[in-house]
Each structure stands twice: as C-alpha cells, then as structure tokens.
C-alpha cells in the first residue's frame, strides 16, 4: 500500500523540486524530502493550496551535533497523496523554525510539543509555552544531551500564568520574545481539572466564563506526560511494544498493531494471513470495547448514570473474550513483532459469535434509553459544531472527523491487515455536532460487528507467530505506519540508525488534535456543553500526553 504512495510521491516530489531546487530527496525507509528553512513557510502555503490540507504528524527531532529540526507528514485529503518533509533549524546554535500553525491549525499544539521536547522556537507562533512540562522545568528532555538530574521532583504548586511568550524574528536575524495575554484580570476564570469527573483523566482546562457561557478556553496538558518517546530510545524494539498498550488503553490492541506494523515494515517481514485475521478481529473487538466505554462515559457525564452501567455491563463481555485469549483485560500484550503472543483460545470463535448475537439487540436498548431521549437530543443536537475544514486543519481524525463529513478512516484510506478485503461502510455524518459524533461511534459498533462476522468463520490455518531474530535491528531510515485507532489515526514514526533501539520514536497521538480543536468548538457554548463536547470528542488523556 505504501508503494502506491511512493509513485504518487513522485509527482508531488517533482513539483516541490521544481518550486524549490534546493530540496533533497533521501530514499532510506519511506523516503523524505529535505527542504530549506528559509522558504519553508511559503512552501507550506503552496502545498496547502495544492490540496495538501492534512498535517498527519509533526515530529521534532534532534539529529545530534546541535542539529535540530522537524519532520512533517502531509497528506492531501482529496487525492490521498502523501509527502514527508524535513526541515533543519537555520544554524546549530540557533533554534528557530517558521510556524505553520496558520496553514494547518493542528500544527499549533504539535509545535508547542516540539518546543517543549527540544527547545525549537517557532517563529510567529502565537503561544510558545511548554505543552507538557512545568514552566519551571530546566532544559528540554528529548534532546540527546539532556541530564535528568537537572529536574528533581518539585512539590511546590505550579503558578498558572495568564500570559504567554511568543517569538518574532527581527530583520537582523535575532529573535525577540514578546508576551501575550491569555486571560485579563477581570475575567471569571474557573479551573476544570486535573482532578475533575468530566475530564476523563487528568486534563486541565482554564475556562473564562460569562455567566454560564464560555468565552475562552485554555488547555493544559502534561499531567500524565510519561515521556514514553524518550524511554523508547533506550529500549529494544520488543520492549517498546509494551509501552504502546499504555498510551491509549482503550485502543491498546490497535496501538500495538501500529507499532508492530511499522517495525515489520522496517524489517521487511511478512506476517501470515492467520495473524492478519486475528489482528483485525482483535482490533475490532477493541474498538467495540472502546465505543461502549465512550457510550457509558458520555451518559455518565450527561447525568444518565444508569446507561453507564448498561454500557459497562456489556463491555465486560468483550473483556472476557479478550482476556481468555490474551490474558489481559485492558492491557493485552497480544501483538508481537511477527505475529501474536499466543494462538486464539479454542473457545474464541464461539464466544465472539455469541457476543455478536447478544450485542445487536442490546444496541437497540441503548438507543431507547439514551439516543432517543428528548433531553439527550436537546443537549447534543447542534452543540459544539466542528466544520469539515476545521476538522481537517486540526487533523481531528476518527469519529470526530467523520462526524464532520471528512472521510478520514485509515482503514479505507490506507487499508492494512484484512481491511482491504472485508466489506464495511465508513460511517459519515455532515453535521459535525455532538450528536453526530455520538452517532458515528454507535454506528461504528455495528460496522465492527459486521467486520468480525465476515472474518470469524474463515480464520485460515497458519502459524500465529513468525520467528524473528533474537535481536531486532531495523535498517537505517525513517518509517511511518498508521492504523485506525479507537478514536482516530494512530501513527508510529520511527527513525532508525540501525541499532537495536530506535533513534527517535514518535507516536502520532489521536487525542492531541482533538484537544487542540476544543477551543474552537467550545467557545460560546455553555459550561454544561463543554462536558458534552469533551465526552463526544472522546479523548484519552494518557494518549494526548504520552
């Protein structure tokens, strides 16, 4: 599937080379274009005009010897073409890249992340605060020369700043730092989270209110930033697998699938069809599990506590199936490089079929108790509208994007595993409101059941695990693989230098774009709507913070 993209790349590659003769092509791994920093912003604007409106991933990098920069994965939603760009900072001692937040809005938070990790300052970025770490953190942790001793555990309370720095380039080439105000003194700012029942974990918002109406919203991430990407740089490839389960624990299976796919792509390893079948079924079971939890939590947030219990009751049935085969309820540890950890349990097929037979009528019950309810409708329909343009610009994939009418399903865009061969519909809505986001997920449960139904009876014989070398080394180059996680595109980017551990491993978070579009959606809504919006965006906080 990525071969096809490579052929497409040729055309856009040629175009870029024509615009920018200085661009260099490097062919290792997936291949990428290195473009000069001076004209990068113009190039981005041009690309956007050319139809490249979806920034899949932005990865800050430290290539050693003081060379910093960023890697951009850009896709055209119209044609499905992909291009990978690499930009270096101007000089080893100067860290400045032009911000492309005005081209792709999704870049804003990602650039803050790169600033936090590497200290790369993005020029003309309106809000250059740290994204994850405390403001008084010393140094930038993902730099190769970072010393952890600089930052002992600080137990003093963090002071919330009401203004933010912002960098501008002066004509003489120096950077100046300005401050911009986020909240005025007169504003009624309330603090939602990190411990708040509706933030689904430890996300924190500062919300400026006028009565019950939200005027401004400022997202604070990082309360569960665990530094997984840095940890991966010192782990062997099999060891990194275990951490992906804990990123988005409701998409544990898919996350691990993405990383396995990426490593297998690097190794040139083909897995058997049996494995592909098992992985697909597991991914879909996990998706059902996640969507049931989404339903439960949304109901709980909206105050319909009983529906929460119904969702959880049925979720236990999925968990039992998963546990019987994988040995874990939530964190399954099932996919491994070259296959899966163990063959499916003898009861697996029977139980899955029983579950499908049980789930369909139960879904009707959900619709009766919640979907049809006039209160739920009143609260969901028309609130928190995200337009298609915004969804693409922010890169809000998954159910959120599809509710806005953007066909962003990775299973259809870049089919992997068995998804190219099964018959299922991509659920699309055009309203982009909370109700559409909710309905997308409910319909997706039905589609997942349909996919499983097609696969469960014909799992082919074969080995469930291809033997790999005891020490896994990926050839030099960069690799990117994506799967449709439970809540959007989950991508893995690996830059390998041929060692047994990755040089840089970046996970394209599914939640970060969702959080970045929250401000746009929630402005002007009521505080109760914020809860509904947060619930229907369906982010998982450890996946945002990584």
Which residue in 22, 242, 357, 407 binds another protein (CB under 8 A)? 242
Whether the CB-CB separation of 515 and 200 falls below 8 Å is answered with no
Q: Dihedral of CA 532/534/535/538: which sign? A: positive
- With CB under 8 A as the contact rule, the residue among 28, 365, 425, 463 that binds another protein is 365
Does 92 sit near another protein (CB under 8 A)? no
# residues contacting another protein (CB under 8 A): 100
Among 153, 170, 176, 181, binds another protein (CB under 8 A): 153
Q: How far is the CB of 1 from another protein (least distance, A)?
A: 29
Closer to another protein by Cβ: residue 365 or 389: 365
Q: Rounded CA gap, 292 and 22, in Å?
A: 51
Binds another protein by CB under 8 A, chosen from 5, 124, 373, 387:
373
Options 1, 18, 27, 155; binder of another protein; rule CB under 8 A: 155
Phi-psi region of 179 (alpha: psi -120 to 50; beta: other; left: phi over 0): beta
DSSP string, 373-399: -HHHHHHHTTSS---HHHHHHHT--HH
- Report the C-alpha gap between 526 and 531 in whole angstroms: 9
> Which C-beta is closer to another protein: that of 61 or that of 318?
318
Q: Please state the closest distance from residue 513 (CB atom) to another protein, in A.
A: 20
State which residue, 180 or 316, has the beta carbon closest to another protein: 316
Whether 167 and 128 have beta carbons less than 8 Å apart is answered as yes
> CA-to-CA distance for 275 and 339, rounded, in angstroms?
6
Q: How far is CA 292 from CA 69, 206, 435, 444, in A?
A: 40, 29, 16, 11
Any contact of residue 360 with another protein (CB under 8 A)?
no
Among 124, 341, 387, 454, binds another protein (CB under 8 A): 341
CA distance readout (Å), 39 to 13, 85, 263, 322, 338 = 16, 13, 34, 51, 42
Residue numbers 259-318 binding another protein by CB under 8 A: 293, 299-310, 312-313, 315-316
Under rule CB under 8 A, residue 15 binds another protein: no
Which distant-in-sequence residues (6+ apart) come within 8 Å of 9 by Cβ?
A: 31, 81, 82, 83
- Greatest Cα pair distance in the chain: 72
The whole-angstrom separation of Cα 173 and Cα 186 is: 37
- Least distance (Å) from another protein to the CB of residue 305? 6
Q: How far is the CB of 336 from another protein (least distance, A)?
A: 8
The minimum distance between CB 159 and another protein, in angstroms, equals: 5
The C-alpha atoms of residue 71 and residue 495 are separated, in whole angstroms, by: 10
Angle at 328 between CA 326 and CA 330, to 5 degrees: 120
**For the window 186-215, what string marks contact with another protein as x by the rule CB under 8 A?**
--xxxx-xxxxxx--xx---x--x--x---
**533 is a site residue for another protein (CB under 8 A):** no
Q: Is the peptide bond before 191 cis (omega within 30 degrees of 0)?
A: no
User: Is residue 328 involved in binding another protein (CB under 8 A)?
Assistant: yes
List the one residue out of 324, 358, 363, 360 whose CA is nearest residue 344: 324
- Contact of 511 with 543, CB cutoff 8 Å: yes
- Best CA proximity match to 492, nearest among 174, 288, 257: 257
370 binds another protein (CB under 8 A): yes
Helix axes 527-537, 273-301, angle to 10 degrees: 170
Cα separation, 491 vs 511, whole angstroms: 12
Toward another protein, which CB reaches closer, 233 or 476? 233
Window of 58-66, 245-253, 392-400, 454-462 that interacts with another protein by CB under 8 A? 245-253
User: Considering the rule CB under 8 A, would residue 227 count as an interface residue with another protein?
Assistant: yes
Does residue 24 belong to the site contacting another protein (CB under 8 A)?
no
Pattern of binders to another protein over 455-494, x per CB under 8 A?
A: ----------------------------------------
**DSSP annotation string for 291-312:** HHHHHHHHHHHTT-HHHHHHHH
Nearest distance in Å: CB 26, another protein: 30
Only one of the segments 28-36, 74-82, 175-183, 319-327 lies at the binding site for another protein (rule: CB under 8 A); that segment is 319-327
**Which of 15, 46, 129, 246 forms a contact with another protein (CB under 8 A)?**
246
Judged by beta carbon, residue 9 or residue 509, the one nearer another protein is 509
Order the strands of the 488-496 sheet from edge to edge.
477-485, 488-496, 504-508
**Of the two residues 323 and 426, which places its CB atom closer to another protein in the complex?**
323
Task: Supply the minimum distance, in Å, between the C-beta of residue 53 and another protein.
Answer: 33
Q: Is 1 in the site for another protein (CB under 8 A)?
A: no
Touching another protein, residues 120-149 (CB under 8 A): 132-134, 141, 146, 148
Residue 526 interacts with another protein (CB under 8 A)? yes
Minimal distance, residue 341 CB to another protein, in Å = 6
381 touches another protein (CB under 8 A): no
Which of 36, 238, 415, 462 forms a contact with another protein (CB under 8 A)?
238
């Amino acid at each position: 599937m990525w071969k096809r993209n490579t052929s497409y790349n040729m055309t856009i590659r040629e175009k870029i080379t024509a615009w920018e003769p200085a661009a260099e092509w490097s062919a290792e791994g997936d291949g990428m274009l290195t473009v000069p920093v001076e004209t990068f912003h113009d190039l981005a604007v041009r690309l956007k005009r050319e139809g490249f409106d979806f920034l899949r991933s932005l990865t800050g990098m430290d290539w050693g010897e003081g060379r910093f920069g960023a890697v951009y994965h850009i896709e055209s939603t119209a044609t499905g073409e992909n291009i990978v760009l690499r930009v270096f900072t101007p000089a080893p001692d100067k860290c400045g890249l032009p911000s492309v937040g005005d081209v792709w809005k999704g870049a804003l938070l990602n650039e803050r992340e790169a600033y936090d990790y590497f200290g790369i300052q993005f020029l003309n970025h309106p809000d250059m605060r740290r994204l994850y770490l405390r403001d008084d953190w010393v140094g930038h942790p993902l730099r190769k020369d970072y010393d952890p001793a600089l930052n002992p555990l600080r137990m003093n309370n963090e002071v919330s700043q009401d203004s933010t720095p912002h960098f501008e380039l002066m004509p003489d080439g120096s950077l100046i730092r300005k401050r911009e105000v986020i909240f005025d003194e007169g504003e009624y700012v309330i603090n939602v989270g990190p411990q708040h029942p509706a933030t689904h974990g430890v996300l924190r918002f500062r919300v400026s209110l006028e009565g019950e109406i939200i005027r401004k919203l400022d997202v604070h991430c990082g309360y569960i930033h665990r530094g997984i990407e840095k940890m991966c740089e010192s782990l062997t490839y099999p060891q990194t697998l275990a951490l992906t389960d804990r990123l988005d624990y409701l998409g544990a299976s898919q996350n691990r699938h993405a990383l396995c796919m990426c490593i297998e792509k690097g190794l040139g390893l083909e897995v058997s069809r049996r494995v592909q079948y098992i992985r697909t079924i597991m991914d879909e079971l996990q998706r059902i599990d996640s969507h049931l939890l989404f339903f439960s939590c949304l109901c709980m947030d909206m105050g319909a506590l009983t529906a929460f219990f119904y969702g959880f009751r049925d979720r236990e049935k999925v968990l039992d199936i998963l546990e019987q085969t994988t040995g874990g309820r939530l964190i399954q540890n099932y996919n491994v490089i070259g296959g899966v950890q163990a063959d499916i349990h003898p009861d697996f097929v029977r139980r899955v079929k029983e579950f499908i037979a049980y789930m369909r009528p139960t879904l009707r019950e959900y619709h009766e108790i919640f979907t049809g309810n006039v209160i739920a409708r009143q609260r969901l329909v028309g609130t928190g509208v995200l337009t298609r343009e915004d969804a693409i610009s922010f890169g809000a994939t998954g159910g959120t994007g599809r509710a806005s009418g953007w066909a962003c399903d990775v299973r259809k865009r870049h089919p992997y595993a068995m998804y190219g061969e099964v018959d299922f519909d991509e659920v699309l809505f055009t309203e982009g409101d909370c109700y559409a986001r909710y309905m997308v997920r409910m319909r997706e449960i039905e589609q997942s059941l349909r996919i499983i139904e097609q696969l469960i009876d014909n799992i082919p014989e074969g080995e469930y695990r291809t033997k790999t070398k005891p020490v896994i080394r990926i050839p030099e180059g960069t690799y990117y693989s994506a799967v449709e996680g439970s809540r959007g595109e989950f991508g893995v980017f690996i830059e390998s230098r041929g060692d047994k551990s990755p040089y840089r491993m970046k996970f394209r978070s599914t939640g970060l774009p969702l959080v970045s579009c929250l401000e746009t959606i929630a402005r002007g809504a009521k505080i109760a709507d914020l809860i509904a919006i947060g619930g229907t965006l369906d982010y998982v906080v450890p996946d945002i913070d990584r």
